[in-house]
Amino acid sequence: MNELRNTFQGIMREVFDDDDIVVSDSTTAEDVLGWDSLMHINLIIAIENHYSIKFATAEIAGLQEDGQNVGTFLQLVANKLK
């Protein structure tokens, strides 16, 4: 999971063009400057391309609901990579 988190952080830094981003499982969209719904989709596209996976519409929407964080995002990615 640590490796996944580090890769995720690297992708986030690239997508948000910000090398100062540091994420943990409890990081939410509100903690990252500029993580709005558009950047969320950019992040999804980057993750999909990096891991060659595909998120369903409901999964992308679910990740934007209240209470979601990097931890739930990573768990979803991990489940798809199994």
Partner 1 sequence: MKVCSLEFILALILLSAIFPLLRRLRVRQVVFTLANVGFVYSHLHNTQSLVATTIFTLYGYAAAKLLSRRPRPGIFWAYLMGLLLSFVILKNYAFLRVVVGPAGLVSSVQIVGLSYMLFRQIHVVVDSMQQQIPALTFVGYFNYQMNLFALLSGPIQRYPDFDATWSSVSPANLSRHQVLMAYMRVFAGVIKIAALGALAQWVAQDATSYIDAVHAGNEAYDRWAIIGNFLLLYYLFPMYVYLNFAGHCDIVIAGGRLVGLNLPENFRQPYIARNMIDFWNRWHRTLSFFIRDYLFTPMYKALVSRWPRHASVVPAVCYFLALWLAGVWHGSTWNFAVFGLLHGLGVFAAKTWEQRLVSARGRKGLKRYLESRTIRVAAILVNVHFVCLTFLAFHPGVLRYWAIVKTFLGALIPGHIAPR
User: Tokens in use for 11?
Assistant: 């992708």
* Residues in 63-82 at the binding interface with partner 1, rule: CB under 8 A: none
Among 33, 53, 78, 81, binds partner 1 (CB under 8 A): 33
d(CA 58, CA 14): 25
**Contact indicator for 33, 23 with CB cutoff of 8 Å:** no
Closest by alpha carbon to 16, among 32, 28, 3?
Answer: 32
Stretch that binds partner 1, among 2-10, 23-31, 40-48, 67-75 (CB under 8 A): 40-48
Q: What's the min distance (Å) between Cβ of 41 and partner 1?
A: 6
Question: Given the structure tokens 């063009």, which residue do they identify?
Answer: 17
Stretch that binds partner 1, among 1-9, 11-19, 22-30, 70-78 (CB under 8 A): 11-19
